[in-house]
Amino acid sequence: MSHSIPLTRESHEALQEELKRLIREERPKVIQDIAEARSHGDLSENAEYDAAKNRQAFIEGRIQELQGKLACAHVVDLKGLNPDKVVFGATVTLYDTASEEEVTYRIVGEDEADIKLGKISCTSPVGKALIGHRLDDAVKVVVPSGTKEYEIIDIKYE
């Protein structure tokens, strides 16, 4: 991972907290579980030992993944900026011209995206299309279901 990974401040803090928890709590617990499973004798037929070793591999892999992401992280701070155009981290309210409904999205990194929470990835078709546009701009987006047209009716930096 040699490229910069954009993250919101909240996501950066959540990844740091997860890393701390894995290192301080989960890793020592799984090491203890492995030691306990070893004390039960024959390892070749010891399901507890196998499960603990698999859990240890998962934890160590996740620790490496988090350390890599945090090392490449670029925390985007929008405080003090004038919300005149759509950028990473912005919350954008759109008017869907076809359905005549309003929808609000926050543009976030790939790891943070959750459409149910109104968070879309900056690499998604909608996210990519919105970045750089300004208030009242009409934006056409090619999505799997066809082409959608949105009008940007509000931009907030939170």
Q: What is the pLDDT of residues 94-115, one digit of tens each?
A: 999 888 999 999 999 888 899 9
Confidence category of residue 1, pLDDT binned at 50, 70, 90: very low
Exposure string of 126-150, with b = 16+ CB inside 10 Å and e = fewer, is bbebbbebeeeeebebeeeeeebeb
Q: Which domains does the chain have, with CATH numbers?
A: 5-76 (1.10.287.180), 90-157 (3.10.50.30)
Q: What is the pLDDT of residues 34-85, one digit of tens each?
A: 998 888 777 677 788 889 999 999 999 999 999 999 999 888 887 777 778 8
